[in-house]
Amino acid sequence: MRAVIYARTGDPDVLVLEERPIPEPGPGEVRVRVYRSGVNPTDWKARRGEKPGTPVDPPQVPHHDGAGVVDAVGPGVEAGLVGLRVWMREAAYQRPNGGTAQDYTLVRRHNVATLPDVASFDLGASLGVPFVTAHRCLTIAEDGPTRLGPGALEGRVVLVAGGAGAVGNAAIQLARWSDATVISTVSSPEKAQLARSAGANHVIDYTKEDVVREIRGIAPHGVHSVVEVAAAANAKIDAQVLAPCGSVAVYADDGGGEVSLPIRPLMVINARWQFVLLYTAPAAAKAVAVEDVAAAVLDGAVRVGRDAGLPLYHFPLERTAEAHAAVESNIVGKVLIDVAEPAD
């Protein structure tokens, strides 16, 4: 079988395609025939590493997200999974051979979820990192719900910073499915259209508009939840628009490195700041997120593609380096690797 690997950290050209034997699943594992592999920023950041040129031993197969069909199961895994369509998450986390950038991969049973026939493999490969992260960001408020679904966020206002990104898009879709009023900030008319296509009720171009004034005009009592991609840049804005007991979920580091907050005003409203990293998030929270995301997929409430605010860009497996370069250059949309096409 074909597998993309990197044996040292660095630029996209460290990614090489090699032939490997098809692996056999061990206890608690399933083997998945991969059809789509999803590329996320975390993938290129891991590939680049803190110091480019550092040896990676054993070599790493990249990509946490993917979709395909269960081909075999190991001891302790129900045989009924064989032949089912699935989506995968955290496939490469602490598993050098487990990434989805290969024809077949071994995944822990709890890191696969069934993909209904109504959902495409493109959607399945787009769910893991963005949607589970977004779910976590939307459910950490002290006075908010721990589950998402119709009515769960009714009467609440959610601010999604960077609504044209993959996590931002997921947060908008999940929040709207849960009946929240969603405000999104963007940096261009094109991104504004994508955020609207995802379902945002209100879109603010922060390069042209007074964000605090616009948000307060929409939500005079403030926003209940902020899904934050650029905490260092937006901390002052977030502090000015939070409702009492409001929460800010920070899921990315925009390069600022440090955040300054006005202590007394945030104490008065009992504000909460929560930092979110998918891989080390509580297992119970991730399990709930997978259940809710799966329910949203079954409801037809989440989609991918330009008409859903998330343009798709496809690369064949042998061009994985180009796919990484596209994500690293901040392409607007979702990058997918077409590992194979399912038989009709």
Does the pLDDT at position 343 exceed 80? no
pLDDT, tens digit, for every residue of 69-118?
999 999 999 999 999 999 999 999 999 999 999 999 999 999 999 999 99
Does the pLDDT at position 254 exceed 80? no
Phi-psi domain of 263 (left: phi exceeds 0; alpha: psi -120 through 50; beta: other): alpha
51 class by beta-carbon count within 10 Å (0-12 exposed, 13-18 middle, 19+ buried): exposed
pLDDT, tens digit, for every residue of 48-69?
999 999 999 999 999 999 999 9
| 328 contacts 12 by C-beta, under 8 angstroms | yes
Taking the CA atoms of the chain, what radius of gyration do you get in angstroms?
20
Q: Give the C-alpha separation, 192 to 205, whole Å.
A: 7
The full set of domains in the chain, from first to last, is 2-126+310-338 (3.90.180.10), 130-279 (3.40.50.720)
Which of 82, 90, 71 minimizes the C-alpha distance to 22? Answer: 71
The single-letter code of the amino acid at 64 is: H
**What is the pLDDT, as a whole number, of residue 48?**
96
Antiparallel, parallel or unpaired: β 334-338 and 104-108: unpaired
Does the pLDDT at position 344 exceed 70? no
Q: DSSP labels for 43-57?
A: HHHHHH-SSTT-EEE
Neighbours of 263 (CB within 10 A): 9
Rounded to two decimals, the pTM is 0.96
Helix (H) or strand (E) holding 166: helix 166-177
Local structure of 190: helix, strand or coil:
helix
